Structure 1
Amino acid sequence: MRRQGMVAAAIILAASSARSEPVETGALDDRPAQSAPLEPDRPPSIQSSLGAFGDPGGFRSLLAARGITYNLLYTNEVLGNVAGGVRQGPIHAGKFEAAVTLDLDRLAGWTGWSGFANVFQIHDTGGLRDRSFQRLITVSNIEAYPSTRLSELWLERNSADQQLSLRIGQLVADGEFFSSETGKIFLSNDWPTITGANLPSGGPAYPLSTPGMRLRWTPDASVSALLAVFNGDPGDQASVNRTGLNFRLNDAPLVMGEVQLRSTSKTDELPGSIKLGGYQHFGRFDDYRYDRAGLPLASPRSTGTVRRHAGTSGVYAVVDQQLYRPEGGSESDGIFAYTRISSSPSDRNLIDLWADGGVVVAGMVPGRPKDAFGLSFIYARISDSARRSNQDRVFLDAGFQLVRSYEATIEVTYQIAVAPGWIIQPDIQYVFNPGGGIVDPSFPNKRIKGGAVFGLRSTLTY
């Protein structure tokens, strides 16, 4: 833990105070230095296909002229497994999001200030991850407890030269940290399992946000550094924080830092980016194997009182790279690859090694310049301490026991651009070793079987 924490602290310190030299690996994601306040990306809108109905009465244009812009996003999907898991069958899930961005310079004369808020209405008929597979890795990145909830609510101040920005309010970490733009095409691409499974309540990530503060430094288009502190436990989404209005402030903090290196835009090179990050949570965490006396928890002589550790941490790296661009194509056309990898201490975390990656082909289907195809994988390894605890029970208990190992997913997806702002997306996933190899509740002497998941998603953006 000490060595892991030192590495995480070093990365966080670099993110906050050290300028890295630009390298020729660059930006498929992240907004570079710009003259306007940083704000969420806006993909193509269905408004352009609606003619006069796209902005009835000119209301949207009127608000935009005063510094108020809003976006609506509706994602709807049907997913189902035809084999494997603890049960088969389809589920429906949906998420409606409304987001408002304020240019407070234009609206109120506050130079350099902006604001943002978004609200989710989440509806589904039962989570496929828990209901069908009891798995660790996300099946659908919109899956959450059915609710209407506040997500983010923050103010941001940008310096006059746009190099520094300070954001404070109700924040999420997954929008800016540990993310890959290339991987966002995939339904299973989400806040990584190593953070979602290890941090209290999954950490500050969809659908949960928490009070926090984020500092971003962008001295030029080739480098950025981020440092953030969050309340370390946003509260369980189903029982504690159902509406997003539980603004918790008394939990141990979570600190995250990230350095982002990008290639600058040049017509003769393929852009890419490298991100190096780390995090430290200052709460207390149970040991997965030993009690306070140093005996295995599975031992008949154990006190049953779990050993506790001060804090947990992790380090990670994210790489995005364009591999090929067709002649005359833009930076968004061609073949792209990405990978994310992370490690955390084994003794206090369920997952100690996690990796994902994939390849995306965009703008290369004849007659379909806006379509994209992707193939990805995700791997989550059960920590050494958790595995050894299972082995202890196998050795000491007379009953049937299983030793968990890993969980993995392969996904193939295709985005069909029906119109600007409307995407239809068929998707196939295959789940290996659900839950890391846990017992099937219907067949106590067998593991839950892996299986295929078929799905269809529709996304409308306004």
Structure 2
Amino acid sequence: MKNFIAWRPLRRVSLLCLISAVSPAFAAYTQYAATAEERHDEMMTYFDDHIEPTIPDSLDTWWSYKYMLGDGYYRDDLAKEGITLSLKFVTDSMGNVSGGARQGFTYTGSMGFDMDADLERLVGIPGADFYVSAVWRSGVSLSNRYIHNVFQTQQVYGGQNLRLYAFYWRQELFEDQLEVKLGRIAQGDDFLSRPIYWSYVQNAFDGNPVSIFLNSPMYAYPNATWGAFFKYTPKQAPVYAQVGVYGGAKKPAQNRNSAHGLDWSFDYENIFIIGQAGWTPELTIGNQEGLPGNYSMGGYHVIDDHPTFLQPPTIAGLPKTVRKADGLWGMYWMVDQMVYSNGVNSSGNKTGITPWFTVSLAPDERVNKMPLSFYGGIRFDAVLPSRKDDFLALGYVYGKFSDDFRKSQVIAGLSPQNFESVVELTYMIQVNQWLTFQPDIQYIINPGAAGKFGDALVLGFQSSVQF
């Protein structure tokens, strides 16, 4: 029995290594399993059966591949049969050149493996698919080591280990109007998230506005929890409504690195419920029609009582009492609207100028660290007419800590935290189909929120490779 327990962590690591190793090995196989002439013949046959596009002379050159390891026509054939594989690496390399606690440079990286199985194509279950994801994160946080600020400068920092991420069944019903997901899910994939947030490197924006994670047991990539998700999108109107019920906090934390994402127990201390509704119109502004927009609002509630920040003093000889408040709750609003279009990109999506903002409120300051936060910015696609897939983005975040939390810090002899804000300017260059490079500048105001450090200037870049 002791030997079995001792080998359990090794078995977990071995399982995840096996999952993560499948994608690059498969991609490499698809590149070299056939000669260039055979691959070209297969592609020509596929085009003849479907459409007749113009085939570039550089079809078989490495730089023009859809994936770094080769277009992999066997991989494409597998996708047609219902199994889609993806392997992507993202790195954030950033340096603090002034301000903060001290100056320095760090690297963080994230290798993500995804597999989606279309069960309708594979086994004939209409509208069903099964999704599995694993991630390997590495590197050191610039914020933690050198700046000591609240909003992490690198969005791929967190969960620095090899772990299983998502593992769920997704079902579409009623002519694809109702979507249901059951299994290991992260709330951040479906709630308080918009594609425009992914434009940034600063973690306060990218993925989800980060204050909700300071206030509640919400999970986002690369951590998941047991849950159920339901989304209704009627065909006759550009609106939607969705709700999710998830496991909340537990001890020990299920997202701890030592569990490698394989703590699948159900012993949660609370339940996290979240809902969101939205309007997604295509508006006419000036003489331009069909400009995409999003207007959403949502709210969440954690079913459980929580200790407040301000506790009664401990009296010698008497049992310790803990003052509690009703369950955590909060609200948020999200808006992004394209106001000008200058064309379409290589994927056929409209490009242009899109301002956006998000407001998050968690009114009960007894239990919420950051009751108020504001996020906003603007994205300008195809600044250079010849670069349709590039974009320039400017973002700003302001987060204010609760008065009760500040009081508890003073009682504990700590420096009370007031607010922190960040301005980010970034430009994403789509180098080719599988490579991006994104120079980035961030200016952090009041790092650490306690007035201990000078404003910090951060320079660096984000890059991604699609294998």
Deviation of 1:48 after TM superposition, in Å, equals 8.6
Q: Deviations over 1:244-276 (max 9, x none)?
A: 111132211100100021104776242211111
CA contact (8 A) 1:136 1:193 kept: no
Q: Deviations over 1:372-416 (max 9, x none)?
A: 10110011100121234456x4xxx9x8x6432101111000001
The 1-side partners of 2:134 and 2:421 are apart by 32
Determine if the alignment matches structure 1 residue 110 to structure 2 residue 125.
yes
CA contact (8 A) 2:354 2:379 kept: yes
Deviation of 1:333 after TM superposition, in Å, equals 1.3
Q: In the alignment, what sits opposite 2:163?
A: 149
Q: In the alignment, what sits opposite 1:428?
A: 441
Match of 2:271 among 247, 253, 256: 253
The 1-side partners of 2:389 and 2:344 are apart by 15
The 2-side partners of 1:372 and 1:310 are apart by 44
The 2-side partners of 1:208 and 1:320 are apart by 27
Q: In the alignment, what sits opposite 1:349?
A: 368
Match of 1:138 among 137, 152, 165: 152
Determine if the alignment matches structure 1 residue 174 to structure 2 residue 191.
no
* Residues 235-244 or 411-420, more deviating: 235-244
Which residue identity does 2:417 align to in structure 1? Answer: R
* Residues 46-55 or 111-120, more deviating: 46-55
The 2-side partners of 1:159 and 1:268 are apart by 32
The 2-side partners of 1:404 and 1:385 are apart by 11
Deviation of 1:450 after TM superposition, in Å, equals 2.5
Q: In the alignment, what sits opposite 1:272?
A: 293
Deviation of 1:113 after TM superposition, in Å, equals 1.0
The 1-side partners of 2:145 and 2:306 are apart by 27
- What 5-or-longer segments of structure 1 have no aligned partner? 1-45, 439-446
CA contact (8 A) 1:141 1:187 kept: yes
Q: Greater share of helix residues, 1 or 2?
A: 2
Structure number with higher relative contact order (C-alpha < 8 Å, ≥ 6 residues apart): 1
Q: Tell me the secondary structure at the aligned position of residue 137 of structure 1.
A: coil
Determine if the alignment matches structure 1 residue 199 to structure 2 residue 204.
no
The 1-side partners of 2:351 and 2:192 are apart by 24
Query: CA distance change for structure 1 residues 241 and 214 in 2, over 3 Å: closer, same or farther?
Result: farther
Deviation of 1:158 after TM superposition, in Å, equals 0.9
Q: Deviations over 1:34-90 (max 9, x none)?
A: xxxxxxxxxxxx99922796244x320231132101111111231110122223211
Q: How does 1:305-454 map to 2 (within 5 A)?
A: 305-326=321-342, 332-344=350-362, 345-390=364-409, 393=411, 402-437=415-450, 447-454=452-459
Query: CA distance change for structure 1 residues 448 and 306 in 2, over 3 Å: closer, same or farther?
Result: farther
The 2-side partners of 1:287 and 1:180 are apart by 32
Q: Deviations over 1:19-43 (max 9, x none)?
A: xxxxxxxxxxxxxxxxxxxxxxxxx
CA contact (8 A) 1:79 1:90 kept: yes
Q: In the alignment, what sits opposite 1:65?
A: 80
* Residues 97-106 or 70-79, more deviating: 70-79
Query: CA distance change for structure 1 residues 264 and 374 in 2, over 3 Å: closer, same or farther?
Result: closer
The 2-side partners of 1:223 and 1:47 are apart by 43
The 1-side partners of 2:304 and 2:143 are apart by 28
Deviation of 1:240 after TM superposition, in Å, equals 6.1
The 2-side partners of 1:185 and 1:168 are apart by 29
The 2-side partners of 1:241 and 1:230 are apart by 22
Deviation of 1:206 after TM superposition, in Å, equals 2.0
Which residue identity does 1:450 align to in structure 2? Answer: D
Deviation of 1:223 after TM superposition, in Å, equals 0.9
Match of 2:98 among 83, 86, 89: 83
Query: CA distance change for structure 1 residues 107 and 157 in 2, over 3 Å: closer, same or farther?
Result: same
Deviation of 1:238 after TM superposition, in Å, equals 7.0
- What 5-or-longer segments of structure 2 have no aligned partner? 1-60
The 1-side partners of 2:62 and 2:264 are apart by 35
Deviation of 1:334 after TM superposition, in Å, equals 1.1
CA contact (8 A) 2:159 2:257 kept: no
* Residues 281-290 or 155-164, more deviating: 281-290
Q: Deviations over 1:132-185 (max 9, x none)?
A: 222221211110132111111110111141111110000011111001222211
Q: In the alignment, what sits opposite 1:455?
A: 460
Q: In the alignment, what sits opposite 2:308?
A: 287
- TM-score under structure 2 length normalisation: 0.78
Which residue identity does 1:311 align to in structure 2? Answer: G
CA contact (8 A) 2:103 2:147 kept: no
Which residue identity does 2:234 align to in structure 1? Answer: P
CA contact (8 A) 2:276 2:296 kept: yes
Which residue identity does 1:192 align to in structure 2? Answer: P
Q: Deviations over 1:298-357 (max 9, x none)?
A: x99x99744222310110000011121137887531111111111112111111101111
* Residues 147-156 or 268-277, more deviating: 268-277
The 2-side partners of 1:231 and 1:172 are apart by 10
Largest Rg, 1 or 2: 2
Deviation of 1:428 after TM superposition, in Å, equals 0.7
Q: Tell me the secondary structure at the aligned position of residue 328 of structure 2.
A: strand
The 2-side partners of 1:216 and 1:238 are apart by 26
Count of aligned positions: 394
Percent identity for Structure 1 against Structure 2: 27
